[in-house]
Amino acid sequence: MKGKRFLCLLLATLLLFTLAPAKTEAETTVYFTAVNDQLLPDLSDGTMPFWSGGRLYVPYTAIAGTDLGLFYSRSRDKSTAVVYRQGSALTFDFAAGTVTDQNDRQYSGAAIVRGDVVFLPLDLLTQFFSLDYSYTRVTYGYLVRLKSDTVVLSDAKFIDAAAMSMEQRYNDYMKTHNGSNSTDTPPDNDRNLVCLTLRVTDESVSNTLLDTLVKENAKATFLFSEEQLSSLGDLLRRIVISGSAAALYWALKGLGKTVAVLCADPIPSRYDYMDIGLYTGQFTPGYTVAVDVAGIQLFGDSEAVQKYAQRVDLCIDHHTSNSGYASALLLDGEAAATAELLYDMFSEMGAPITPLVADCLYTGLSTDTGCFKFTNTTARTHIVAAKLMEAGANTVKLNSLLFESKSRSRLAIERLALESLEYSFGGRCATVYLTKEQIAETGADGTDLEGITSLPRMIEGVEVGITIRQQPTGSYKVSVRTVTGVDASAICAHLGGGGHKQAAGCELLGSLDNAKAALLTEVEKALCKES
C-alpha cells in the first residue's frame, strides 16, 4: 500500500526530531545562508535573510559571486537592480515596487532595501531561474540553502559537514548582535524542522500519524483557502480542499481529538453536507496541518489564516511542486488527489471511515480528477472510489451536486466567457477572459466559477485552453489546460507560475493585452515543441 511507504518514513523521521526549548521574547532568530555546498561567511543583522509578508527574502550577496550561474547588478542611481543569466533577467524597481522580466512581463515580489543592502524574494528567484532552495531548522537557528543542478551534498550531509562552522559563526554573532533581524515571525513552532519528499520501498507501518499527535498532546487546526494550487485553477481547489480538510477533520473527531478548520474565504452553501467545524478561536491550536497547499503564498491574505500559515507543522499534499514550507511534508506525487492519500492514512490510523468521511473524501477525489476524466486518474483512484462507495459515500447525490447542477449565475458567467472566445495558431489554442466588472455583474461566486477553466479546452481541435480572470485588485488569474503532449506547467513556469503537465496557472500584472501577448508567446513555444 502506497500510504504505508510514505507514513513509515514520515513517522520515523518525526519521532527522531525532538522539540526545541521554548524561546523567550528576547531571543534572536538566526539565519545561516548557503549556496550549493558552501556556507556563506557573513552572519550579521544587516545581511541575514528574513520573512516579510509571508515570503522569505535573501540578500543579493547570496547570488552575487556564487556558483549559481546568476549575475547581479545595481544601477548607478541605485533605483533598480537586475538579476540575470543567459538571456533571462529580472529587473527590480525599488521606487515603483515592481518586478519585470526581459520581455517586460510583470511578477509579484518587490525587492526590499535595508540600509544599502538589497533583499530579494527567494521563491521568485528560484522559480524564475529554475533553481531550488531548502529552509531547515538547525541547532542555532535556520539554514537557508540555495541550490542549482551542481549541488553535491544532501541537506542532511551538508548540515553535518557545516556544523562546526555554524557554531563558530553563531557564537561570534551572539557576542555582538543588537536585536532581532526579522520583521516577521519565522515559520517555526518551536520544533525542529524537516521537509520530506518520500519515495521509498515497501515497509510496514509500526506507528501512525495520530501517534505523533498524541505523543505531543497536540490539538489540530487545518488551513486552506480558495486560492490553492494554481495548477488546478480557480474554485475547483476550494472543493478539493474542502473535501480533504473536512475528511481529516471528521476522522480525527472520530478519534476523540479537538479539531477545527480555518479557511480564508466563506465555504459555499452547496458543501454544507460536509458540516465542517470552522475555527473561531474556541481553543489554542497546538498542531497545525495544511492540506493540499503547495506553497505558503497560496494561503491567501486573510489575517486569521496568515497567523498560522507560517507555523505549519505538517503539510499533506500530492503536488510535486510543493515548496517544503511546513516542518514536515507527507507527499505522494503519484496520488491523483490528496483525498486518495488521506484514505490510506485513515486506514493505517484506524480512523473510522463513516459515511460522512466517505462523502468528504469522495468530494476531493472526484473533483480533483474531473469526475475521473482527467489524465491523473489511475486504477488506484477507482479502487479508492469503490471503497468509499462501500463505506457509504452517496456518489449519485454527490455527482449530481458537483458536476450536473449549475446556478443561474454560473450559466451567466459561462455565456460571457464564451462571448470573449478567441482562437490562435490555427485553432490549436482557445482563450476566454472575464473582467472583474463582468464577474460582479453576474453575481458569480467562487463555486460558480469552478468549471470555467475547462471551457476553452473542451472545444474540438483545441490543444491549449486558457482562461483569464481579472481579480478585484486588477491582476489577472490565468488557468491553462492542455492535451497530452503539451506541457501546461512549462507555459506557466516562464510566467512565474506552475502546476501539472496538463493543468497549470499563474498570475499576471499589467494590461489584458499584455497578459494575452505574454501567454501566447509561451503557448507558441509549447506547441512548436509538441509538433
Mean pLDDT, consecutive 10-residue stretches, the chain (531 aa), reads 34 29 49 91 87 85 82 87 88 90 88 90 89 86 89 86 88 71 44 33 32 40 33 32 58 72 70 76 80 74 71 83 81 87 83 86 87 86 94 90 80 90 95 91 74 87 93 86 89 80 83 88 88 63
3-class state of residue 303 by DSSP: helix
DSSP bridge pairs for 504: 480, 499
The domain limits of the chain are 18-176, 209-403, 408-530
Q: Cα separations (Å) of 1 from 200, 339, 369?
A: 12, 15, 21
- Residue 147 backbone dihedrals phi, psi, to 5 degrees: -140, 135
How far, in whole angstroms, is CA 111 from its chain's centroid? 21
Q: Could you tell me the three cell numbers for 162?
A: 557545516
CA pair distance 2, 474, nearest whole angstrom: 43
The CATH code belonging to domain 18-176 is 3.30.457.10
379-390 vs 338-349: helix crossing angle, rounded to 10:
50
CATH 1.20.120.420 given to domain 209-403: no
- Read off the C-alpha cell for 380: 488506484
Residue with cell 518520500: 198
| pLDDT for position 225 | 34
DSSP reduced 3-state for 268: coil
User: Do 320 and 331 contact (CB within 8 A), yes or no?
Assistant: yes
HEC-encoded secondary structure of 425-461? CCCCEEEEEECHHHHHHHCCCCHHHCCHHHCHHHCCC
> Which region holds residue 495: left if phi is over 0, alpha if psi is between -120 and 50, else beta?
alpha
Task: Locate 505 and state its grid cell.
Answer: 496557472
Are the folds of 209-403 and 408-530 the same? no
First vs last Cα of the chain: how many Å apart?
Answer: 39
Amino acid at 59: P
pLDDT at 55 (0 to 100): 84
Let me know: does 200 contact 333? Beta carbons within 8 Å: no
- What is the DSSP-derived secondary structure letter of residue 18? P
What pLDDT sits at residue 389? 94
Torsion angle, alpha carbons of 330, 332, 335, 338, to 10: 20
CATH of 408-530, one of 3.30.565.10, 3.60.15.10, 3.10.310.30, 3.30.930.10: 3.10.310.30
Q: At what angle do helices 2-16 and 338-349 cross, to 10 degrees?
A: 70
Strands 141-147 and 31-35 come out as parallel
CA–CA distances in Å: residue 61 to residues 48, 93, 170, 464? 10, 18, 19, 40
**Measured between alpha carbons, how far is residue 301 from residues 58, 437, 454, 506 in Å?**
22, 22, 26, 17
Please report, for residues 22, 163, 466, the alpha-carbon distance to residue 462 in angstroms, rounded to integers and kept in the order given: 57, 55, 10
**Could you give the 3-state DSSP secondary structure of residue 398?**
helix
Give the residue among 519, 495, 479, 472 at the shortest CA–CA distance from 107. Answer: 495
CA distance linking residue 108 with residue 126, whole number of Å: 14
Q: What is the pLDDT of residue 28?
A: 62
- Which residues make Cβ contacts (< 8 Å) with residue 287, sequence separation at least 6? 213, 216, 218, 219, 220, 221, 313, 314
Supply the pTM of this predicted model: 0.48
